[in-house]
Chain A
Amino acid sequence: MKPWVLKVISTELRKILAYRSDFWINFIGQMLIQLFIARALWSAVFEANGVTEMRGLTLDKMTLYYLLAPLIMKTMMGENIGFLAREIYDGGINRYLVWPLKALQYKSLTFMTYSIFYLLQLNLMYLIARFIFDPSPYSLADFTGALMGSGLILLASYTYFYIMSLCEMVAFWADNTWTLSVMLRFVASFLGGAFLPLSFFPDSLLPVLKLLPFQAMISTPVNLYLGRADGAQALEAALTLLMWLPALYFLSRLMWRKASYHYTGVGM
């Protein structure tokens, strides 16, 4: 491990913690808003259909699903949109080109630091929400589910970093890639089951979704937390991500090498 790896993580954490009010709004405000919207929406849907369960999910589980899915999505998507494109656009990337390190490696660390931080928030929120919406006592299965889910989210985040980098590096040619990044975020969220559980998707689509990395990034971790997926499914999801990861990694490096020839170092 490079000697600066831990220092990069610690520096990024210090940046995240630099603003107290933003930290607490991000931590508590977001959870309450999501909880309120999910509960209100799905209560109405359950009531309108006169059912107590939909596709294997009770109202409480559905609420938990809609609390966890966006949080997992946020965790997996690490640093915000534009983490690379913005710096290419305004020349901020110059510093990584001058420092004796690999720029992409550095950016992957800052990206992952956000994921690690959000993962801690996610697990804390899960503990609280699980207590509210599931009256049964905490069991070993809850902890193993959360543990497997957490591991899978980190692997998903690392994989997503390279997908996102490919998209953000388009800024070397096109300058502005905001729309592209938002589209990617939308597609990943939709196909990962963040907007609607994948059990609601047509059966014919499910085998295709299994081959894409997005299910392993959002749906499987949520189900692991909810106790609706087991170790075998976690392993299968991890293998899917590990199948994508090398290809994305090499493609990103190749694109970086090509792109740096086009870089004009604007904003300097």
Chain B
Amino acid sequence: MAIKVRNLSKTFKVATKEPGLAGSIKSLVRRKYLEKTALKNVSLDIQQGEMVGLIGANGAGKTTLVKILAGIIHPSQGEVSVLGFNPWDRSDELRRLMALIMGQKAQLWYDLPALDSYMLLKEIYQIEDTLYKSQIEFLADVLNIKDQLKVQVRKLSLGERMKVELMGALLHRPNVVYLDEPTIGLDLMAQKAVRGFLKNYQKEFKPIILLTSHYMEDIKELCQRVVLIKSGELIYDGALSTIQKNFGEQKRVSLSLDQIPELRPDIDPLLGSFEWHSDKVILSTTRQNLNAAMEYSMKLFTPNDITIQDPSIEEVIESYLRKGFQ
């Protein structure tokens, strides 16, 4: 197994302060600390060539897990093996085989063109001349960023910056790539370009890619396997399609109305629920109750259009994080 995580836990001690000036003065003398559990007994395995999506709400522990796997922080408890190495031993051998891309933290030098930073990375990772040249050519070409490599990084757009960051992280052709929010803040076109690139890169070089993202589009398009983390605990590890299948029993019926009734009627909770919008009402129900719920709804409304849908993956994940499988 390329990545093996066993019973991983991490707790942080965080200083707290009462609000206001009095709280600030009090904290100068006596500070209170809060013990925060970022990860609790997480275990998982990842095989070479897998692309895994790490999903969870803000503060769920996704980034903490990535930081531990990348060797940036030490866990409080548990074992981790990445390509046979303990990541927080920070051996040069392992670090030459991995890359970390943080959507919110630049690794290249802002004041220099990306090519200057790449020259330094070439020496740091001891990349051979031929590989370096071919990687620059290949990556610049597929990312369509050739003309921007000689421009100061700080003068690039957000999307271009992410592309040059991606290039820098992949120059040494790593076997393990940790991607933390690689499309954050990017416009739709740039998001699509980055996603397309990652998909092709993974297909061609087969690295492990562990992706955390708040954009479900990233996960949907790139990952067949997802790991869901809630309050530091791993609550689901498996195929994205399985979650969808579990929620496949759910149905959403959109009933377009000419006029929304002033007195909004309810439906028997055993049959489903209504969600009111300005021009429609959405009926959420199960496949089993669909006929009965529809029959009941048709008695209440005269819709001018009816659409029956499966819930979107965003809704499925959100619902799963909230309630788990039902």
Contact = CB atoms under 8 A, between A and B. Distances in A.
Q: Do A and B bind each other?
A: yes
Contacts of A101: 92, 124
Interface stretch (A6-14, A129-137, A192-200, A239-247): A6-14
A100 B95 contact: yes
Given A18-B112, A91-B105, A97 B120 contact: no
Most chain A CB within a 10 A radius of its CB, from B63, B96, B99, B100 = B100
Given A94-B100, A100-B95, A264-B12, A7 B119 contact: yes
Contact of A268 (B63, B111, B123): B63
Nearest to B94: A100
B105 A92 contact: yes
Contacts of A11: 109, 112, 116-117, 119-120
A3 interface: yes
Report, nearest first, the 8 A-B pairs whose CB atoms are least far apart.
Answer: A4-B123, A100-B92, A100-B95, A7-B123, A18-B111, A265-B72, A95-B107, A265-B67
Nearest to B10: A264
A100 B90 CA distance: 8
Contact of A3 (B67, B121, B126): B126
Interface string A102-146: 000000000000000000000000000000000000000000000
By secondary structure, the B interface counts as mixed
Interface string A158-195: 00000000000000000000000000000000000000
Contacts of A92: 105
B17 interface: no
B119 A94 contact: no
Most chain B CB within a 10 A radius of its CB, from A3, A7, A91, A98 = A98
Interface of A: 3-4, 7-8, 11, 14-15, 18-19, 91-92, 94-95, 97-101, 260-261, 263-265, 267-268
Given A11-B112, A18-B112, A264-B12, A99 B105 contact: no
Nearest to A101: B124
Given A4-B120, A7-B119, A98 B112 contact: no
A268 B105 CA distance: 6
A197 to B, nearest CB: 38
Interface in B101-115: 102, 104-105, 107, 109, 111-112
Interface residues of B, number: 35
B90 A97 contact: yes
Given A4-B123, A18-B152, A94 B102 contact: yes
A99 B100 CA distance: 9
A15 B112 contact: yes
A101 B107 CA distance: 15
Contacts of B124: 4, 7, 99-101
A261 B74 contact: yes
Given A99-B125, A267-B105, 14 more contacts: A7-B119, A11-B109, A18-B112, A91-B105, A98-B71, A98-B72, A99-B95, A99-B121, A100-B92, A263-B72, A264-B12, A264-B73, A265-B73, A268-B180
B98 interface: yes
A263 B71 contact: no
Contacts of A8: 120, 123
B70 interface: yes
Given A98-B71, A263-B72, A267-B105, A15 B123 contact: no
